[in-house]
Amino acid sequence: MTKNQKTKDVTHLLEEKEILYKELNHRIKNNLQMMLSLVKLQISQSPHEETKQALTITKNRINSFAYLYESLYQQSNSTIETEEYFRHIIHAIQLMTLKKVKIIYDITHNLTTDKLLYVTLILNELVTNAFKYAFEKEGELHVALHKKKQLVTMIVSDNGEGFNPTKISNGLGLTIVETLVKNQLYGTIDITVDKGTTITLSWEEHE
């Protein structure tokens, strides 16, 4: 086999791999969109407000996956503009409420894709809880993400009525957060209540 023939074969294999990769991502994206459509249909048909709220939270979780796959499909590097991604997730949550909450971002670090999904699922839960429990009609929500040496810190804080353990300590949302922080990020979580709630997450990132 000549050198030119080997080059053609390798090029052909790479092209086939690229086609398969695009097809896989296309199918995943379509499946996620179908799941979103089914959940939206259930929300519209449910007569119970509590069920609608639970399904809406599920919809936002699926939306986190769908938007990440869409972002990954459109670019080839291993990082995504984290602030843009955070803004999309929080905007989707904010649209589901009538509360006037000012979101203040302080993002100085872009997460790698292997961490981004876990972190945005965590963010989804924390912001959902803030909108649900911290604010009656309006307020401020601060979202910060920084990296110093190998330590990444994310802080989500609000000026609402404060963390009420009797309301959400045993809820699925906080359980998801604690599980992802400890088992996926191998990090720590700290909750402070003082004229609002501040939740601080820290984990090491060696990339």
Give per-10-residue mean pLDDT for the chain (207 aa).
60 60 61 72 78 75 70 60 88 81 94 83 87 84 95 94 58 79 92 88 87
In 3-state terms, what secondary structure has residue 31? helix
**Cα atoms in the 13 Å half-sphere on the side-chain side of 195:** 1
The reply to whether the predicted model has a pTM over 0.85 is no
Residue-level pLDDT at 194: 81
Residue-level pLDDT at 72: 63
Q: Which helix (H) or strand (E) holds 154?
A: strand 151-158
Question: Are the C-beta atoms of 127 and 176 separated by less than 8 Å?
Answer: no
Residue-level pLDDT at 130: 87
117: DSSP letter:
H
State how far the Cα of 29 lies from the Cα of 23, in Å rounded to an integer.
Answer: 10
Residue-level pLDDT at 125: 86
